[in-house]
Amino acid sequence: MTERESPFIDRTGKSLERPQDQWPPYVIPKEAIDLEIERLADLPAPNNGRRESFIAHPRAKEPGLGLAPGIRVSLSVLKPGERTKSFRHTATEVNFCIQGGGYTEVGGKRIDFKQYDVWNHPSYHVYSHVNDTDELQVRLCYSDAALLEMMGIYIADEDPPSVKEEERDYADEKNRTDPRAKNPFGTFQLTDDGAWLMPYETLINPETVESKAHHWPWEQVKEHLDKLSALGKDYVGRRLYLLYNPMTGRTNGTTPNFFATMTCRPEGIVDRPHRHTSAAMNYYFSGRGQSTVEGEIVEWKAGDLMLSAPGWAIHNHAAKEGTVYELTIQDQPLNIAMESLLWQEDLKLPAAILGSEAGFGTNR
């Protein structure tokens, strides 16, 4: 690659508006996923135990290789009796079992899972997956590794120390308690309109929020979705639940980057066209339907995975046959944190930055 000679790129008088160039919607049909599962299962057992493929969009490039620019999706298979070697990385994950079951050990916690269960992995927690059943285990994993790779900060550790071996540096602890290491002026307001100053030791020691792995068993989630469905016409909103991880606070996430929602769409329900800067992908596991994305009509059915709403693409979804159940992943919490979650719920009305402006009721 030729390197740029000057750091200056003249933009004088030039528009900074970007032409819309979203990745188009993309469906990976059940048949293709099944063939890949079969191929992975037929490979000789790899050293790290991970029978795994990334599921990348045709437009995806290195670094990243996501199904959306900031979302990596991988398909993982474990045969009965197999386990993956311990691993950790700086990405946070949403894990989703689409076939079989087993358990995961993450940060010293054991999570027993079955088909359609969801669980999250905090960043840099050591984990391994185990198949202690006599069926094939198949998982989808959604992570922000694509984004971290583009930032050049994806750090993965194929041979991490076990949880107990890791001990905090003693010298650091001493610094924390030495009164001379503390700026006596603390954090204080500088100007009347609310600009503040913060000392270094506070800057590098932010308030910690414990990040834990949580498990959302499908059996239990479905019970609550069914209760929403049973409300019939008394409830005009969407029949969905966010699999909420309380550590994400006001950004309403399952991980600091993504939300995962479980949705039930009764047959015949069509949502209104809308758009948002967060990218959305759906895995359907019941029913059949179609989406219109930037004017393109895309059909889908149970067992398909789809980039259903590329960031800022106008879209709507329609359930056409049978009750649709779907897991949706969106990089919405990240966009709320970045103050970039531009959302237009009604295309005749102006867009709003959600998280710093009021949101919406429902779009059903």
Interface positions, 290-329, toward Fe ion (CB under 5 A): 309
Count of residues that bind Fe ion according to CB under 5 A: 1
| Nearest distance from C-beta of residue 206 to Fe ion, angstroms | 32
CA distance 364 to 357: 21
Work out whether strand 88-89 and strand 93-99 pair parallel, antiparallel, or are unpaired.
Answer: unpaired
Residue 309 or 351 having the CB closest to Fe ion: 309
Interface positions, 30-49, toward Fe ion (CB under 5 A): none
DSSP state of 250: G
C-beta separation of 242 from 259 below 8 A: yes
**Among positive and negative, which fits the CA dihedral 324, 325, 330, 332?**
positive
| Nearest distance from C-beta of residue 328 to Fe ion, angstroms | 8
Q: Which residue is nearest to Fe ion (CB)?
A: 309
Write the single-letter amino acid at 179: P
Closest CA to 31 of 303, 284, 327: 303
Residue 149 or 294 having the CB closest to Fe ion: 294
Residue 127 or 343 having the CB closest to Fe ion: 343
| Nearest distance from C-beta of residue 251 to Fe ion, angstroms | 17
| Nearest distance from C-beta of residue 55 to Fe ion, angstroms | 20
H runs (alpha helix) in the chain: 30-42, 145-151, 170-177, 200-203, 218-230, 332-338
Q: What is the dihedral of CA 56, 272, 337, 327, to 10 degrees?
A: -50
Residue 245 or 261 having the CB closest to Fe ion: 261
| Nearest distance from C-beta of residue 131 to Fe ion, angstroms | 35
CA distance 148 to 310: 19
Length of the chain: 364
| Nearest distance from C-beta of residue 315 to Fe ion, angstroms | 6
Q: Which residues bind Fe ion (CB under 5 A)?
A: 309
